[in-house]
A and B are shown apart, each in its own frame.
Chain A
Amino acid sequence: MTSSILPLSVALPLLSAVLILIIGKFWKGVGAFIGVACGVVTLYFAIAMFDIPDGSYWMGGWIPPVGIVLALDSLSRLLLLVVNTIAFFSLVYSVTYMQKYTAQEKFYALFMLMLAGMNGVVLTGDMFNLFVFLEIASLASYALVGFGVEAEELEAGFKYLILGSVASTAILFGIAFIYNLTGTLNMADAARFISGLMPNRMLLFAAGFFVFGFGLKAGLAPFHAWLPDAHPSAPAPVSAMLSGVLIKALGIYALTRVIFTVFGAPETILQIVLWMGVLSSVVGGLMSLGQNDLKRMLAFSSVSQIGYVAMGIGLGTPLGIAAGLFHLFNHAIFKGLLFLSAGSIEHSTGTRDLRQMGGLMKKLPITSLSTVVGSLSISGIPPFNGFFSKLFIIIALIQAKAFIPAAIAIIVSFITLAYYAKIQRFALFGPLPALFKKLHEAPFTMVFSLIALSLMCIFVGLYYSFFMDTLFHPAASAVIEQTKYISMILGGL
């Protein structure tokens, strides 16, 4: 039993979602207020988690494995921090950005549901509970993608919905297989049984379903097709959430948890994840090169970058996992930043087509600068954060004698540079089109998030060794030390 803020960081957003809907009936504009307040509190919780020792919270006081547990270890802490940071900045950004939409209350309610789902996924120690939270977050995100109810948004939302539901079903199949074999849904308890069972044909089926389901949620190739449709269609803060954290919490985190903690990291599954990562990084990178829609380019870039994360994690070495998680953290920051910047550009210019833009440096200095910072970070230029995480991943790959993935990782990082140079070229530099003479910089609440995230890009880059030591190495060892997790939850049981 540890502190009760574990369930609170799930329950609070859930409660806020309900409150927003109820109070919003009488008082328009309450959504932003409650939303941001809840964002602040959950961010505070996420930071406060670093003071709490590893441990678990028994829901309703039932002893595991009978009851549902929420578990806190270094990996969960890291993900909680990422999720709530990006959520906070997205919420602040939404305050002005969402004013052009009707039904703001519904937006905030859905946002809060998504946040609750993600926090739940990250904290839970029970597989079916994981599935439920995953579905809460997913359903909210389907609705948010289609939030604008324009043709493209609906189309993207429907594709995402169908593919996402198939993935969820596959995940549930996997859980059912595991339940059938082990008779338990508690991850730690199941892990105890599974270590004695491998290799087992049924378990392999379960593993396959998990790789498929979580891989699809993570947007790994060849399951990535929904992502470039869905992420650009959502409103900018939601795009930032989807690309920044949703694919990681629901995809990468859940995959890592299941593969490492429950299955004990079998070599073949790791190899599959590694090569899926390679494939995603190549496909995503090449597709980004061919895009003219700013947000669609960013979405394909997410496919590519999540491939890097998968490469690092699929390597299975301590350094590889730490590097993958570092890149996950960085990607959340700079992709969140880039999507918010793109939203700011769209907010001001009214277009997402790179070919119609130009010279925005003059009219939108802060947005442009934050775009440049994000682009340089994601292309891996020192001293920004992306450089260090990519370097770690490549070093880990070379050390593990995975030369082909390492070479591909470097080539893709060059491709990344090429398409981000394209953004600068078309959108930011050069003469200003006559159409844009009267543009104004985005309002403060939007700019605030941009500045804060840009500073984080630089800060994390400069103090990368501090972050490695305090966040990512502990998280990586939490991933690898399966027995520690088991004993943490089950204790002496």
Chain B
Amino acid sequence: MLQYLLDMIIFALGIYCLIAKRHIIKKIIGMCIIEYSINLFLILLGYRMHGIAPIILPEMNNSYFAQYSVDPLPQALVLTSIVIGLGTLALMAAFAIKLYEKYRTFDMSEIHRLRG
């Protein structure tokens, strides 16, 4: 249970970073922290203490594998999730660069032309 709680704390830290930090790059880092927390969460779901890697070797039988291996599905999900995260990160970085060119600032609290 503790590890889930710690993971939630990482998530909350990410949210805190997004809300409290003004700097665009710090916000991006906050976003990354949130993504790490969810990836970690997925891994934790499938993890088994002292488990084996989810690869069926020739000498294993199925019941042994099912008993000892960690759940392979979350790992596959995490891979996908990381790829998506990469795309998001690239897009965020691109936005940050362009925003700096237009506004001449990295302070997100000064970027509020669209309001009201």
Contact = CB atoms under 8 A, between A and B. Distances in A.
Q: Do A and B form a real pair?
A: yes
A161 interface: yes
B113 A155 contact: yes
Contacts of B38: 169, 172-173, 176
B103 A290 contact: no
Contact of B92 (A158, A172, A173, A229): A158
Interface of A: 128, 132, 135, 139, 142-143, 146, 149-152, 154-159, 161-162, 165-166, 168-169, 172-173, 176, 179-180, 185, 228-229, 233, 290
A128 B99 contact: no
A151 B103 contact: yes
Contact of A135 (B15, B84, B99, B108): B84
Contacts of B74: 176, 179
Contacts of A143: 91
Interface residues of B, number: 35
Contacts of A169: 34-35, 37-38
22 contacts: A132-B80, A139-B84, A146-B98, A151-B113, A152-B113, A154-B98, A155-B99, A155-B103, A155-B112, A158-B99, A158-B111, A161-B92, A161-B95, A162-B31, A162-B92, A165-B35, A165-B92, A166-B18, A169-B34, A169-B35, A172-B42, A228-B114
A149 B73 contact: no
Interface string B64-75: 000000000110
Contacts of A172: 38, 42, 81
A206 to B, nearest CB: 12
Contacts of A139: 84, 87-88, 91
B44 to A, nearest CB: 9
Given A128-B80, A165-B31, A169-B34, 11 more contacts: A146-B98, A155-B103, A155-B111, A162-B92, A165-B88, A166-B31, A166-B34, A169-B37, A173-B38, A179-B45, A179-B74
Contact of B41 (A161, A162, A176, A228): A176
A150 B102 contact: yes
A161 B91 contact: yes
B116 interface: yes
A172 B80 CA distance: 12
What is the interface of chain A mostly: helix, strand, loop, or mixed?
A: helix
A229 B114 contact: yes
Given A149-B98, A152-B114, A128 B27 contact: no
A35 B102 CA distance: 31
Nearest to B116: A290
B92 A128 contact: no
Contacts of A155: 99, 103, 111-114
- Top 5 A-B pairs, shortest CB-CB distance: A151-B102, A229-B114, A158-B95, A135-B84, A180-B45
A157 B88 contact: no
Contacts of A185: 73
Contacts of A159: 114
A132 B41 contact: no
A142 B84 contact: no
B45 A161 contact: no
Nearest to B77: A128
A155 B99 CA distance: 7
B47 to A, nearest CB: 11
A165 B32 CA distance: 10
A192 to B, nearest CB: 18
A159 B11 CA distance: 19
A290 B113 CA distance: 16
A150 B101 CA distance: 10
Given A162-B31, A166-B15, A176-B42, A154 B102 contact: yes
Given A162-B18, A185-B73, A290-B116, A154 B31 contact: no
A383 B102 CA distance: 47
A173 B45 CA distance: 11
Contacts of B111: 155, 158
Interface string B1-39: 000000000010001001000001001000100110110
B54 to A, nearest CB: 15
A157 B108 CA distance: 13
Nearest to B41: A176
A182 to B, nearest CB: 12
Contact of B95 (A154, A173, A179, A180): A154
A455 B74 CA distance: 49
Interface string B52-94: 0000000000000000000001100100110010011001100
A392 B81 CA distance: 41
A113 to B, nearest CB: 11
A180 B27 CA distance: 30
A156, A157, A185: residue with the most chain B Cβ atoms closer than 10 Å = A157
